[in-house]
Structure 1
Amino acid sequence: MASLYPLEALNRILRHARNAPFYRAHLPVTPVQSWEDFKRLPFSTKEDLRRHSPEGLVCVPRQQLLQYHETSATTGAAVSVWYSEKDLKEIRSRLGNWGVGFNRDDRVLIKFPYALSSIAHFVQAAAHHKGACVIAADAGTAVTPLRTVVELMRKLQVTVLATMSLQAVVVAEAAEMAGFDPRRDFPHLRAICCGGEPLTPYRRQLLHDIWGVPVYDNYGMTETGPQAMDCPERRLHPFQDAVWMEVLDDRFEHEVAPGETGNLVVTSLTPRATPMIRYMTGDRVRLLNQPCACGQSITLQHRGRAADILRVQGKPFDLWDLQSIVFQLPSRRFWKAAAEPEGLRFIVEHERNEFPLQPALLERLRQAHGVGLRVDLVPRGTLYNRNEPVSFGRPGKPVYICDAAELAALVDGSQASSARRSAGG
């Protein structure tokens, strides 16, 4: 993003941030005089946030704190994030203008986690802001297993499903297991709203193929709140007046060239209760300067977590690259990938009884990506057990990347199960 934000306004944010014990010790006391000064400010890391949770990053009086959330703690101790009434009002207003166009005729079923996570609460507030009715299904519990979610969607004539993109696939599978056709038997559904994981164009198309409705994305995290959302054209635009985005090289020394993929570092531009100053998100993104019919000029591509990149024969493969390969296979819903010395290896669940995988297709993919490629086709249920409706409906944070040994064990286990079934065991 071009350095057009007023330095005076940025210094106001830095002064505000210094109200927090962490930033008071972390940031210099002198104002920044140029963007070069800004780029010399120290980074903030997730470990910094962990060490100073729960209240070391709070910049407002205790009485102004209105809502508390935590990160999922999948990679370490949870990070505490607080929101003031002003923060929540801003987020509600921004998300209320999501391209999906929430309105008073909508019934929005929210299948995001409510407990300590933030996204379900933010989507609910945005829907209410536009007069829409909300069904708070949560991420999947004993109270709302998948069969109940499917029943709610039908009997309540749900118009918008809000969930992680993988969960939208899971709900569709549950509907099919109950004898329904997602494209035909949910006539009131008009859109799916996603968040919580990268929505690649391949997953977006898969969801449209399954459900027959447009799919809208938003990008953010508990630490920062929403940072970007889809316009009506279904292009993801950052909130340029609310968050400053730097896209840096792998050494975190320089910004990458316009349009190149790099590591996202964000700075809050509004006086949040817990602002982020040069926060290293761990995400890989591209910022594209492309005029959009909605009037915006910058589009964000969230390519996935830096920690999830697979490096094969010297080439990096992020989530977009991996899903571009899976999307061309006859089955595309449930998969995992690993890097092996010989190349990329995928495990993909069957979607139908017959799964024709042509050698010519694999060869074309090998040639296109310049690495070895192996695909193991495994029975339905290898990755997600359909006989456990609560656990199937609540897989947690989507995990697509594993190590080679884990992938081999999954394949070996599925082959052993198939052999037992063939032998009548």
Structure 2
Amino acid sequence: MTTLARPAGHDPRSRLRDTLVSRLDIARKVAAVTSLDRTALDAWAGDALAATVEHACRNSPFYTGFVPAEAARAVAQGRPHAFEAIPFTTREHLSAAYPLGMLAVPRREVIRFDESSGTGNGRPIAAFFTMADWLENNLTVAGLLATVLDRRDVAAIAVPYELAGVGQDLDRAIEILGCTIVPLGAASPSCTPDRMVDALLRSGATTLVCSGTRALFLGEIARRRGIDPRSDLNVSKILMAGEGASPAKKRRLADQWGAVAYSMFGMTETNTLAMFCRERELHLVESRTFFEVVDPQSGERLPDGSVGELAVTTLASRAMPLLRYRTGDVCQIEAAPCACGSPLRRLRHRGRFGDRIPVGDRGTSQLEIEDIVLGAMTTAPYYFAFDIDGDVLEIALPQSSTDEATRASIAAGVRDRLGVSTRFGPLDTDRFETALRTSAKPTMRNFSAYGGGGAAGEG
């Protein structure tokens, strides 16, 4: 067998020592930035923004030809409002640049290659991270998670680990806190929902990390097996990742599990963008990202408090810097102080522009429909599906929620909030649960796919 010769002067112990020293330096940097007050954070962000633009326009194959040279120079020189002259980056740009067009460092510096799910044309987007990129994010997230987690916690992580970085990122961050990790993954044949429930029971898990829809599903699986999530399991915290959650969904999770539900927000291409605090508010991770809310039509930057599209610029991503990346998320940023004392602004996430649903003479979101329906449901399973038929919202419900009181409450909510009528039908629960079992990121699916057919009544 041929053995590759080691380079002259190779000393594995020296390399390991250098790696550990480098990681300690990264930890010190994160500690310094995350301890800044609002004024100091704004000053740091201004410098980091200029450095990010310079790095991207000098080293990224995409940005060297995309950003006008004059705009890049103006930002580097700190000219007022110069940043707004930089054109927006879109998901289509990232898809067209796949796989290496967004990479801004030599490939030998990349320690992680992740991919998002494919876009409408079937093309995924890539995400790259250097050691510093990855570890800085892990440490930042760990510091934010420490508001509700400590070494006494056992965290069961039921989000994708394959290619998408969310599972690995949360795994590393929670591990840093000294918690016990139960890596369940998502939609794996070797870890079915029943086995997940068994693992929650055997491990004594105190924290469940997954989408809100998956948590509702696992609670229902446990109930059918004679396991009461409130009394037989130890889960007291549900950290929701992978989908938005309405206030009603959080209440249903509290009813079902006796647990507090916390929201998180991020993307494969950016890592974590917002994290909860002990007050259950969602705070922007402004030590790693610069945030704007822009008018979705004109692109004009909007002041804090306005609702628009979220655009992000990375401040601590060497491998894959992003400039004014339009996320497609409907958001509002609030600058008013939070009771938790954090200097970070708060985010109100109101769904995605791509998920807007035309109904009546206005549009609505899946989150608003979810809030109406789950808010009226009082009996598990907490499933539903929906579709739009002109000015009628069709809603499919499981048998346990077809009583007159529940339907009347839903119909009243739809009429008052959306201004349209409602038609009810039966939910094909078996098909719905099959979809939940096999989906890496389960959400409330479309009525036309999972309804049982035939209207059961109107409201």
- Give the TM-score band, short-chain normalised: 0.7 to 0.9
Deviation at 1:287, TM superposition (A): 1.1
SS in 2 for 1:266: strand
Q: Offset at 1:238?
A: 0.1
How many Å apart are 1:74 and its aligned residue? 5.1
Q: Which residue of 1 aligns with 2:128?
A: 82
**Which of 90, 93, 99 is the matching residue for 2:139?**
93
Residues 22-61 of structure 1, C-alpha deviations (whole Å, 9 max, x = no match): 1111112323243432112111111111111211111122
Deviates more, 1:250-259 or 1:265-274: 250-259
Partner of residue 51, structure 1: 96
Q: How does 1:164-203 map to 2 (within 5 A)?
A: 164-186=211-233, 188-203=234-249
- Return the alpha-carbon distance in structure 2 between the equivalents of residues 169 and 100 of structure 1: 24
Structure 1 letter corresponding to 2:100: E
Q: Distance in 2 between matches of 1:216 and 1:99?
A: 13
- Give the whole-Å Cα distance in 1 for the aligned partners of 2:148 and 2:391: 47
Do residues 22 (structure 1) and 62 (structure 2) align?
A: yes
Query: Counterparts of 1:144-223 in structure 2 under 5 Å?
Result: 144-186=191-233, 188-223=234-269
Structure 1: distance between partners of 2:427 and 2:243: 25
TM-score, length basis structure 1: 0.88
- Aligned pair in 2 of structure 1 residues 245, 141: CA closer, same or farther (>3 Å)? same
Aligned position for 2:429: 381
C-alpha contact (below 8 Å) 1:349/1:383 kept by paired residues: no
Structure-2 separation of matches of 1:269 and 1:84: 14
Contact 1:194 1:216 (8 Å CA) reproduced: yes
Whose radius of gyration is greater, 1 or 2?
2
Q: CA deviation at 1:94?
A: 1.5
**Residue 351 of structure 2 is aligned to residue 312 of structure 1:** no
Aligned to 1:66: 111
Name the CA shift for 1:302/1:35 in 2 (closer, same or farther; >3 Å): farther
Equivalent residue letter for 2:127:
V
**Structure 1 runs not aligned, ≥5 long:** 419-425
Aligned equivalent of 1:303, options 350, 354, 359? 350
Q: Name the aligned partner's letter for residue 84 of structure 2.
A: K
CA RMSD of aligned residues (A): 2.6
Q: Does 2:438 correspond to 1:394? A: yes
Is contact 1:303-1:319 (8 Å) kept? no
What CA distance in whole angstroms lies between the structure 2 residues aligned with 1:288 and 1:49?
29
- The one-letter amino acid of 1:312's match is V
Give the TM-score taking structure 2 as reference length. 0.82
Contact 2:427 2:450 in 1 (8 A): no
For residues 150-169 of structure 1, give each alpha carbon's deviation from its aligned partner in whole angstroms, at most 9, with x where no partner exists: 11110111111111111111
Task: Give 1:302 shift.
Answer: 1.5
Of residues 295-304 and 167-176 in structure 1, the stretch that sits farther from structure 2 once superposed is 295-304
Counterpart of 2:160 (choices 73, 95, 113) is 113
Query: 1:423 maps to which residue?
Result: none
**Counterpart check, 1:31 vs 2:74:** yes
Which letter maps to 2:262? Y
Change in Cα spacing, 1:260 to 1:336, as seen in structure 2 (3 Å) is farther
Q: Where does structure 2 lack aligned partners over 5 or more consecutive residues? A: 1-37
| Alpha-carbon distance in 2 for matches of 1:370, 1:293 | 33
- Asked if structure 2 preserves the Cα contact closer than 8 Å seen for 1:50 and 1:79, the reply is yes
Distance in 1 separating the partners of 2:410 and 2:383: 18
SS of the residue corresponding to residue 302 of structure 1 reads strand
Do the aligned partners of residues 148 and 341 (structure 1) sit closer, same or farther apart at CA in structure 2, a change above 3 Å counting?
A: same
Contact 2:292-2:312 within 8 A present in 1 as well: yes
Between the aligned residues of both structures, percent identity stands at 26
Given candidates 221, 227, 232, the residue that maps to 2:273 is 227
In structure 2, relative to structure 1, the CA distance for the partners of 1:359 and 1:16 (3 Å cut) is closer
Going from structure 1 to structure 2, the CA distance change for 1:362 and 1:393 (only over 3 Å counts) comes to: closer
Q: 1:162 touches 1:194 (CA, 8 Å); kept in 2?
A: yes
